[in-house]
Amino acid sequence: MENQKSYHMSAEAFRRLGYRLIDWIADYQERADEYPVLSQSQPGAIRAKLPPHPPQQGEDLQRIFADLESIILPGITHWQSPNFFAYFPANTSGPAILGELLSAGLGVQGMLWATSPACTELETHVMDWMVEALGLPQQFNSRGQGGGVIQDSASSAAVCAIIAARERINQLHSNEAGCDGQLTAYASTQAHSSIEKGVKIAGIGRNNLRLIEVDVNHAVIPEALEHAIQADIAAGKKPFFVSATIGTTASNGMDPLPQIGAIAQKYGLWFHVDGAMSGVAAICQEYRHLQEGLHLADSYCTNPHKWMFTNFDCDCFFVADRKALIQSLSILPEYLRNKATESGAVIDYRDWQVSLGRRFRALKLWMVLRHYGIEGLQYHIRRHIQLAQEFAAWVRADQNFELAAPAPLNLVCFRHRGGDEINQAIMDRINQSGKMYFSHTKLHDRFTLRLCIAQTRTERQHVENAWQLIKHTATQLSGKA
């Protein structure tokens, strides 16, 4: 047979480029603080630098490095900068990146146990490790009725929880016949928008989501929840799902899980708890009280891809009764039938999520847990919290600023006493400077600054610089300079 031509990258070229790319990433991580944190790019500027048509002939990928510097980096907001304090973080680390690379290198698609037993079994095992590491209630351990699965995001976890809840109350009927508009779901006014999205995706209808009032600390008021449920029952509706949050996005508000869980039990609602960022703090014993009441939950999620040095995407989603989830999402077309599945002795994670295909995400979590150990993770999480507490103390001590919410962990919500306009101006001016990046929210209808300390390389000096810059900018803007 005639020699076949190949366009594939040779192993040798892959090695050369790969080593260089790892060097590039290592350098980037070390100098991430040298870039303007918030990209200064204007809309369309990146595309304008790219060729309008795809290359007809392949190119030498060595050229990619020049393009990275000149085209891509100007359009990057540097989430890995130690001066990144915005939103909730998406931190990463060496072991996580290597795990991600390994996942791509193995190229496994783990939809079924049979399509790569290690992909499934490592995931189950690492999720049980997470139950232990975070001190989660045993109902989430796969050795009982429950278990964990890695989802791409907390949003997907919410969708799965809502669908499982819908099918539980409707005894799998809505999977067959669709929803009848009678189900009602509950979350606080401070719940993440993913709950609303999940309710829409699951066909519940946004009008059937009740957003329950919160107290002065942005935690849901249990009596208001119960009243809403009772009113719906009286109106002939079917309450079926309630979500609570450990660490709301806007202000790190902590919902009272024991009370909400008790109400969920009383009225037969599925109780989902969203600990997207803050749940990770439970790796330290002293923050476990924040998940008190979690034993009442039907499902729980927390994101190592936010605050546990595991690059996006990695959401740990746990259910107390895996059967309820699997029955809701299970499909078995002929082409996926196999002996292992039919034996009932294995987990097929395609039945635990929306998509069929799935990446080998457990590798990066495994690498992170093994590299840091619980001790290393505790050290860095405690450090972030300690730095945030110092920042909060500086705010408290400054007569021009005030705290806008309790700061139980690593998020500080604060504001200049001069009103919305100056707070907005402080944030805009600083973010445009590229020196650091932080974000805002509205609390009690007032513009509030948020500083979240969770970057892998953030140290005291970065937090100190941030505070000095905020104070200095405030002085300039208030005309007192």
Ligand X SMILES: Cc1ncc(COP(=O)(O)O)c(C=O)c1O
Interaction site with ligand X (CB under 6 A): 88, 153-155, 192, 194, 245, 248-249, 274, 276-277, 303, 315
Q: Using the Cα atoms of residue 434, residue 436, residue 441 and residue 443 in order, give the sign of their dihedral.
A: negative
Q: How far is the CB of 61 from ligand X (least distance, A)?
A: 31
Report the first-to-last Cα separation within the chain, whole angstroms: 81
Closest CB to ligand X among 276 and 388? Answer: 276
Closest CB to ligand X among 248 and 455? Answer: 248
CB burial readout 162-177, b (16+ within 10 A) else e: bbbbbbbbbeeebbee
Reading the block at residue 229, the tokens are: 């449920």
In the beta sheet, which residues pair with residue 214?
220
**In the chain, how many H helices and how many E strands?**
16, 11
Long-range contacts of 440-444 (CB under 8 A, 24+ apart): 441/249, 441/250, 441/251, 441/413, 442/250, 443/218, 443/250, 443/251, 443/404, 443/405, 443/413
Closest CB to ligand X among 158 and 346? Answer: 158
Q: How far is the CB of 230 from ligand X (least distance, A)?
A: 27
Q: Pick from 467, 129, 153: which is nearest to 302 by CA?
A: 153
Closest CB to ligand X among 192 and 415? Answer: 192
Q: Assess contact for 83 and 462: CB atoms under 8 A.
A: yes
Burial of 158 (0-12, 13-18, 19+ CB in 10 A): buried
Closest CB to ligand X among 136 and 254? Answer: 254
Closest CB to ligand X among 232 and 315? Answer: 315
